Amino acid sequence: MTVTRNGAQWLVESLKASGIGHFFFVDAVLRRSLLEMERLGVQPVLAHTEKAAVYMADAYGRIRGVPGVVAAQAVGTANLAAGLQDAYLGRSPVLALTGHKVQAQQHRNAYQELHHWPLFAPVTKHTALCDTAEDLARQFRQVWSAAVSVPARPVHLDLNGLMGEFVETSETAVPPAALGGWQLPLHRPVAASAEIARAITALLSAGKVCIVAGDGAALSGCGAEVLALAEALQAPIATSLGARGIVPTTHPLAVGVVGNYSAPPTNQVVCGAELVFFIGCDTGDQMTHTWRVPAIGTRVVQLDADPSEFERSYATEATMLGDPKATLGALIAALGKPVRDSAYLHAAQATMAAWRASMAPRLASNAVAIDPARLCAEITAALPADGILVADTGYSGIWTGTLIDFNGAGQTYLRAAGSLGWAFPASLGAKCAAGERKVVCWTGDGGFYYHLPELETARRLGIAVTVVVNNNSGFGQGWPNYLKQAGNRPKAAEQVLRFGPTNFAEVARSFGLKGIRVEQPGDIAAALREAMASNETVVVDVATDIEARAPEPWTP
């Protein structure tokens, strides 16, 4: 006997069977499906803005390795599309569902209706119309596969009806899809043996080899292989910001984040290499310090699962097309244990050690207002062995990417790909995906202002994260230079980059949550312990010094 389901039933049963436990949305959309979710045990997460809902789904997908699902009706579609920019740039799997008015109302000045395809084309790898439940049953598998295939990026289905109601009410006889095993990366091909042989020849011909592991390496989960290769080649390991923590950051082979958000020694080490081995790297301006680190003309070997990343910025001596983890395993086996000169590695380690020693006083600083470097040290000490740190863009990325250490074996670092304010809603989505793992959000006051209403979401749904606000009453990253530029008109600079002061602990309490204000560095550790022990979201508002400078990248 053939069993038919309406689209709402099919969608929710498929989400449940595919391991999706949370559905992020802004009303009014898919209301029949939302009722089915309550019946089947999928948690609807009503957010206050479409961008916040997208950021939640983004982090959910990054933690779980499956698409985070987000939805909005026709009027919210443009806002939802704008939120997908960060997921697209961050190579995150997100499934976006939107409603559109029926064909009979198109091209007739329908209320609040825009053409959706142009909005989603730049921020998705696949976008399609979905008219019926039969279409949904076919396209669901297609978009899921696309989302978790390299490069992982958002996908979009535009559903028939203002709220997708025509897809929900039509019927299909196709059984629900169970795609939980289709996780990122869906495919793990090994590069051809001839490519591996050419890469080994190039690597062994260079005396000074540096490994640069990027976001693609982090997605592949190849930290152990990167360490094994670096040991064999006596090569220091630098990473992109997104790959921070792929190996233990205090490991003798690790030299930190390279590029624009780098601590000084890392760029120096990479610039000193004779050959750079890019593993899962996009070689964009952010991680190459605007294509100066390494210098154009440096010998390059590149391994990536996405062939479009080859030859973007650097001429390559050898390329390997394959999954980083699988291909490195084959490369290491073929490489054996070559005899290598370790002088370059030792020099890199000495440079890194000297910089760490120079930063030690700031990590222990008792200054008031608080030096954010001290806050970094306290978070390093407090983050559990399986903890997740979610960081905003800009100065939040620099502080956390240079001065917070990770164990490379259980802890996870998620960072915004460029959207200020991403971190707080993203931390809520990460917690929805993480179960019992503790989630800590690092944001500045400038970023936290973006999505304060999601404090209500956290309280209503009992989502427990520790929100650390680096509160310096302004945009600290650009402050000193802009103040200098203003010359004898400091008021002009203040009008552009200063705001507050705001006590975010009091703001949290006004939402019915716990807030802790920290004004003395000696109180940070206790505040973090109290917050992380709580079963609700706690805002730890740390009064920091806007004049304190984060590490700045060395420039050739």
Domain boundaries along the sequence of the chain: 5-172, 193-348, 364-543
CA-to-CA distance for 33 and 7, rounded, in angstroms? 8
CA-to-CA distance for 8 and 137, rounded, in angstroms? 11
CA-to-CA distance for 390 and 61, rounded, in angstroms? 13
Segment holding 51, helix H or strand E? helix 50-64
How deeply is 504 buried, as exposed, middle or buried, from its count of CB atoms within 10 A (0-12, 13-18, 19+)? buried
At the second CATH level, the architecture of 364-543 is 3-Layer(aba) Sandwich (3.40)
> At residue 534, what are phi and psi to the nearest 5 degrees?
-80, 155
CA-to-CA distance for 239 and 367, rounded, in angstroms? 31
CA-to-CA distance for 506 and 43, rounded, in angstroms? 29
Residue with tokens 């250490």: 405
Q: What CA dihedral angle connects 126, 128, 130 and 134, to 10 degrees?
A: -60
Amino acid at site 154 = P
For residue 464, the model assigns a pLDDT of 98
For residue 217, the model assigns a pLDDT of 97
For residue 522, the model assigns a pLDDT of 98
- The two counts, helices (H) then strands (E), for the chain are 22, 20
SS3 21: coil
CA-to-CA distance for 178 and 166, rounded, in angstroms? 23
For residue 83, the model assigns a pLDDT of 98
Q: Tokens at residue 61, please?
A: 């997908």
Are the beta carbons of 50 and 72 closer than 8 angstroms? Answer: yes
Would you mind telling me the total number of residues written for the chain in this entry? 556
CA-to-CA distance for 186 and 179, rounded, in angstroms? 11
CA-to-CA distance for 150 and 304, rounded, in angstroms? 9
CA-to-CA distance for 14 and 97, rounded, in angstroms? 14
Are the beta carbons of 250 and 411 closer than 8 angstroms? Answer: no
For residue 113, the model assigns a pLDDT of 81
3-state helix, strand, coil in the chain (%, to 5): 45, 20, 40
Planar angle of CA 458, 461, 464, nearest 5 degrees: 50
**Strand order from edge to edge, sheet including 22-26:** 43-46, 22-26, 68-72, 94-100, 155-160, 126-130
SS3 541: strand
Amino acid at site 321 = L
Omega cis (within 30) before 28? yes
Q: Tokens at residue 129, please?
A: 């119309």
Q: How many of the other CB atoms lie within 10 Å of CB of 509? A: 14
What one-character DSSP code corresponds to residue 477? Answer: T
The β-bridge relationship of strands 155-160 and 94-100 is parallel
> At residue 536, what are phi and psi to the nearest 5 degrees?
-140, 165
What one-character DSSP code corresponds to residue 104? Answer: G
Residue with tokens 């979009």: 156
First-to-final CA distance of the chain: 72
Query: At a CB cut-off of 8 Å and minimum separation 6, what does 113 contact?
Result: 74, 100, 101, 105, 106
Segment holding 26, helix H or strand E? strand 22-26
Q: Tokens at residue 423, please?
A: 């971190």
- pTM above threshold 0.95: yes
Are the beta carbons of 60 and 68 closer than 8 angstroms? Answer: yes
Task: Find the helix packing angle between 193-205 and 324-335, rounded to 10°.
Answer: 60
CA-to-CA distance for 94 and 153, rounded, in angstroms? 7
Is the fold of 5-172 the same as that of 364-543?
yes
Are the beta carbons of 68 and 93 closer than 8 angstroms? Answer: yes
Amino acid at site 30 = L
Are the beta carbons of 57 and 69 closer than 8 angstroms? Answer: yes
For residue 1, the model assigns a pLDDT of 73
Q: How many of the other CB atoms lie within 10 Å of CB of 103? A: 10
Are the beta carbons of 463 and 457 closer than 8 angstroms? Answer: yes
At the second CATH level, the architecture of 193-348 is 3-Layer(aba) Sandwich (3.40)
For residue 106, the model assigns a pLDDT of 83
- Look at domain 5-172 and name its CATH class: alpha beta
Residue with tokens 């961008």: 51
Are the beta carbons of 520 and 546 closer than 8 angstroms? Answer: no
CA-to-CA distance for 216 and 118, rounded, in angstroms? 28
For residue 12, the model assigns a pLDDT of 98
Q: How many of the other CB atoms lie within 10 Å of CB of 387? A: 21
Q: pLDDT in tens for each of the 556 residues of the chain? A: 789 999 999 999 999 999 999 999 999 999 999 999 999 999 999 999 999 999 999 999 999 999 999 999 988 999 999 999 999 999 999 999 999 988 888 888 888 788 899 999 999 999 999 999 999 999 999 999 999 999 999 999 999 999 999 999 999 999 999 999 999 999 999 999 999 999 999 999 999 999 999 999 999 999 999 999 999 999 999 999 999 999 999 999 999 999 999 999 999 999 999 999 999 999 999 999 999 999 999 999 999 999 999 999 999 999 999 999 999 999 999 999 999 999 999 999 999 999 999 999 999 999 999 999 999 999 999 999 999 999 999 999 999 999 999 999 999 999 999 999 999 999 999 999 999 999 999 999 999 999 999 999 999 999 999 999 999 999 999 888 888 888 889 888 889 989 999 999 999 999 999 999 999 999 999 999 999 999 999 999 999 999 999 999 999 9
Residue with tokens 């608080």: 370
For residue 481, the model assigns a pLDDT of 85
